[in-house]
Amino acid sequence: MKTKKPYIITLLIFLPFLLVLYMLIEPRWIQVVQTDFYDSDIPSAFDGKRAIFLSDIHVSQFLSRERLQSIVDRVNDMNPDIVFLGGDFIYHGDEFIAPCFEELGKLRAPLGVYAVTGNHDYWGSHTAVEEAIEREGIENLNNLGKWVKIGDQRIRIGGVGDLWEDAPDYKPAIEGSETNDFVVLISHNPDYSETLLENAIDLQISGHLHGGQITFFGLFAPYLPSYYGQKYRTGLINNGKTTVLVSNGIGVIGLPFRFGARPQINVITLRSQ
């Protein structure tokens, strides 16, 4: 009688190689995540407007300028109304700053392209990063806010500096707004949402956690750089103070692996209730 043991042994030998191969493929398998965000504060002129959120691009030896160019082209092909950039533009190495922002400067959205910086952007020349943001026509919203208008209707867009490396302050983001104004806050780190006053911000958008990058089949991440465990790993979370949308981001840190945490382009469609 023939035994199946040789086949099992062969499978066990090749399984680790297949796993590593998949973990190398997943960082390039970008997922477009669609989110309809309903809020009665959204003015009718903004109903149906689409915002695209990119975070944690981490241009490096693992994510080339050519790959970023293809991502920018893909975003532009979606014809977003507004684009948000959530920081960690580079992994390390100031030589990646200029090519990164030369590509991001090609993003097109009629209501603007807005950015904050993340912790990795402070670990090199943060001044060079901010200069590149300005040079490429992207609006830097670190501890700032502005009104975005369509006709006589408007929403408030704000941002904060990085929770780890800056002194984030959301007060300028809400300056001049009232309780019935729709306010979006870009914060690289989702943990910052825990410091907000209740109902001060309608939607916070964040990255930083990479969805865990390496997870147990998307259910649990052994390591997350967050003070709140798995709470903000990925997705849409209501913490009682605001709603937080956390993206898996685009790039990687450490080894160029992902497992159960595909990179994401987040498309947020505003819906007026």
In this prediction, residue 164 carries a pLDDT of 97
SS3 for 39?
strand
In this prediction, residue 9 carries a pLDDT of 74
Domain range for 73 is 5-272
Per-residue pLDDT of the chain (273 residues; tens, 9 = 90+): 455 677 677 666 767 778 889 899 999 999 999 999 999 999 999 999 999 999 999 999 999 999 999 999 999 999 999 999 999 999 988 999 999 999 999 999 999 999 999 999 999 899 999 999 999 999 999 999 999 999 999 999 999 999 999 999 999 999 999 999 999 999 999 999 999 999 999 999 999 999 999 999 999 999 999 999 999 999 999 999 999 999 999 999 998 999 999 999 999 999 997
Q: Which of 236, 245, 211, 215 is nearest to 225 (CA)?
A: 211
Helices and strands, counts by H and E, the chain = 6, 12
Give the 3-state DSSP-derived string for the chain, with helices as H, strands as E and coil as C: CCCCHHHHHHHHHHHHHHHHHHHHHHHHCCEEEEEEEEECCCCHHHCCCEEEEECCCCEECCECHHHHHHHHHHHHHCCCCEEEECCCCECCCHHHHHHHHHHHCCCCCCCCEEECCCHHHHCCCHHHHHHHHHHCCCEECCCEEEEEEECCEEEEEEECCCCCCCCCCCHHHHCCCCCCCCEEEECCCHHHHHHCCCCCCCEEEECCCHHHCECCCCCCCCCCCCCCCCCCCCEEEECCCCEEEECCCCCCCCCCCCECCCCEEEEEEEEEC
In this prediction, residue 19 carries a pLDDT of 85
Close Cβ partners of 120 (under 8 Å, ≥ 6 residues apart): 58, 87, 88, 89, 90, 91, 92, 253
In this prediction, residue 15 carries a pLDDT of 76
Query: What CATH number corresponds to the domain at position 24?
Result: 3.60.21.10
Number of structural domains in the chain: 1
Q: d(Cα 91, Cα 124) in Å, to the nearest integer?
A: 9
Whole-prediction pTM: 0.94
Q: What are 238's two structure tokens?
A: 């209501």
In this prediction, residue 7 carries a pLDDT of 66
